Structure 1
Amino acid sequence: MNDPISNTGNNISKRTFSCASRHAELHIFLYSQKVDRFRPVLLVDVPRDSNITAKVMKSLNIPKGVRRVLFRTSNTDRRLMFKKEFDSSFVGFKADGAKWLVENTDIKLVGLDYLSVAAYTDARPTHLIFLKNREIILVEGLKLGGVKTGVYDLHCLPLRLRGVEGSPARCILIK
């Protein structure tokens, strides 16, 4: 099957996409959060060929009160999730973009369309900002091609692994 998106059902539009890893399992244990179902979640398009900086975050005009956001970038256009080799030129959050998100929004879940939410050159500081400052769940490795921007229910179906901070998961968007 070449297309990662599958449509099923009669009256409900279901979109299935995969997720390589999630930094949520440790958060379940520490904060007793349920992380298998999130609603609503907002899917936004990030300006192409730009890492997610504070300036980009401001330009997205994400409404106050939104708590869960999936960011579709040029990674989807470039089909990076389908490549066999790792591509360090992927788009992700820069540290200033993560800091702006933490300080200026109510977002508790961040999803991105490659193997890391953090830009390759800012991986450590960006992850530390997300994970130390707030209880933010990171969903990485999303395949978001063919999905329209908008509001969805997000269901993440992780492998239940003990003693780990992340797990492979199947993530499903329901309109």
Structure 2
Amino acid sequence: MKSLKIPRGVHRVLFKTLNTDRRLMHRKKFASDFTGLKKDGHSGLDYLSVSAYDDAAPTHHIFLRNREIVLVEGLNLDGIKPGKYTVHCLPTRMVGADGCPTRCILTA
């Protein structure tokens, strides 16, 4: 993460990875070889899970314990170019759930 040189003051980062290039969100079959993070990295990613398939539980537990980072998974970033944007995530209220469907709006 440090090598990305994200400027100070940036509070939200969306990562467009090879998941988008591979059009994984458009496939009917789940792809377990998707790009994801191991437990030592945190962010928002463009597929069904922020964590790598083989490291799912430890990564999610770190996020849940931290509570400073909100996960947004399953983003469709087709056609989105790198740059500065504002993202608004509008969650559906679900009592007793630790996650829920969200409508995210990205504006330049």
The structure in which a higher percent of residues are strand is 1
Task: Report the equivalent of 2:58.
Answer: 125
Runs of at least 5 residues in structure 1 that lack an aligned partner in the other structure:
1-56, 99-109
Find out whether 1:169 has 2:102 as its counterpart. yes
Match among 15, 22, 25 for residue 81 of structure 1: 25
Letter in 2 for 1:89: D
CA RMSD of aligned residues (A): 1.4
What displacement does 1:140 show?
Answer: 0.1
Local SS of the residue matching 1:139:
coil
Q: Give the share of equivalent positions with the same residue, in percent.
A: 66
Runs of at least 5 residues in structure 2 that lack an aligned partner in the other structure:
none
**Aligned partners of 1:80 and 1:159: how far apart in 2?**
24
**Aligned partners of 2:95 and 2:62: how far apart in 1?**
25
What displacement does 1:159 show?
Answer: 2.0
1:109-134 per-position Cα deviation (integer Å, ceiling 9, x unaligned): x3210010000111111112222134
**Aligned partners of 1:113 and 1:95: how far apart in 2?**
17
Alignment of 1:12-91 (within 5 A): 57-91=1-35
Q: What is the TM-score of this pair, normalised by structure 1?
A: 0.58
Find out whether 1:93 has 2:37 as its counterpart. yes
Find out whether 1:157 has 2:101 as its counterpart. no
Local SS of the residue matching 1:124:
helix
Task: Please identify the structure whose Cα radius of gyration is greater.
Answer: 1
What displacement does 1:169 show?
Answer: 1.5
1:12-36 per-position Cα deviation (integer Å, ceiling 9, x unaligned): xxxxxxxxxxxxxxxxxxxxxxxxx
| Aligned length in residues | 108
